[in-house]
């Protein structure tokens, strides 16, 4: 998994003032750059879950900010575009807005199996204290709540690191008691259920 992230307040850090001014435009979430110099960081990580908890825990471990506006996953076609022309913007038709278990699975299914690494973009909220007007979200894709990713990552399942995580299985007990291997009840373990007795005439 390749994770890239951007802070709207810090785009173009290290660039000349003129270059940085050109980079600090209001983002068009329908057409985004996924490669330097439009991003602030990159990290490689392993995804271990098919639901929103796993990506959130992965993001929390690897991205130095958990105030996330959008989680975006490139489809197979979007990743092919990035390989061909990494400097070009990618259209939203080629990435998935990830905000639920269903959208995580839709993103994974849109990529060929074993065609690694996958591409994930994290769009962070602006730094606290940034006084510039906030860029409105897309009408069809509202911003995640500022604490959403942190809350998902803090859940018990988010830390399991188990792609097939589920609630512990408790086998049913149909015998109403503790029987030994031969099926005989131990002392004091006889069932308390009265079974009907048939009578012969």
Indicate the SS3 state at residue 184: coil
pLDDT in tens, 142-161: 999 999 999 999 885 545 55
The mean of the pLDDT values for the chain is 80
Look at the block and give the residue holding tokens 């859940």.
Answer: 155
- The sign of the dihedral angle between the CA atoms of 39, 41, 44, 50 is negative
**Does residue 186 carry a pLDDT above 70?**
no
Of 1 and 9, the structure prediction assigns the larger pLDDT to: 1
- pLDDT given for residue 189 in this prediction: 45
Contact in structure between 28 and 72 (CB atoms under 8 Å): no
CA–CA distance, 128 with 71 (Å, rounded to integer): 20
> What span, in angstroms and rounded, lies between the C-alpha atoms of 58 and 66?
11
Tens of pLDDT along 5-30? 998 877 766 777 777 666 666 788 99
């Amino acid at each position: 998994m390749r994770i890239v992230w951007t802070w709207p307040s810090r785009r173009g850090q290290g660039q000349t003032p003129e270059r940085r001014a050109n980079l600090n435009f209001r983002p068009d979430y329908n057409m985004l750059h996924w490669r330097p110099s439009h991003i602030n960081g990159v990290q490689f990580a392993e995804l271990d879950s098919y639901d929103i908890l796993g990506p959130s825990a992965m993001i929390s471990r690897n991205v130095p900010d958990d105030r996330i506006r959008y989680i975006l996953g490139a489809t197979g076609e979007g990743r092919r575009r990035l390989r061909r022309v990494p400097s070009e913007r990618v259209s939203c038709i080629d990435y998935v807005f990830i905000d639920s278990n269903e959208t995580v699975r839709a993103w994974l299914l849109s990529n060929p199996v074993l065609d690694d690494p996958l591409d994930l973009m994290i769009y962070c909220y602006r730094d606290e204290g940034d006084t510039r007007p906030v860029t409105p979200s897309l009408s069809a894709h509202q911003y995640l709540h500022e604490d959403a990713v942190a809350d998902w990552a803090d859940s018990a399942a988010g830390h399991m690191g188990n792609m097939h995580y589920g609630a512990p299985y408790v086998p049913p007990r149909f015998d109403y008691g503790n029987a030994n291997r031969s099926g005989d009840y131990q002392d004091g373990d006889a069932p308390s259920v009265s079974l009907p007795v048939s009578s012969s005439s």
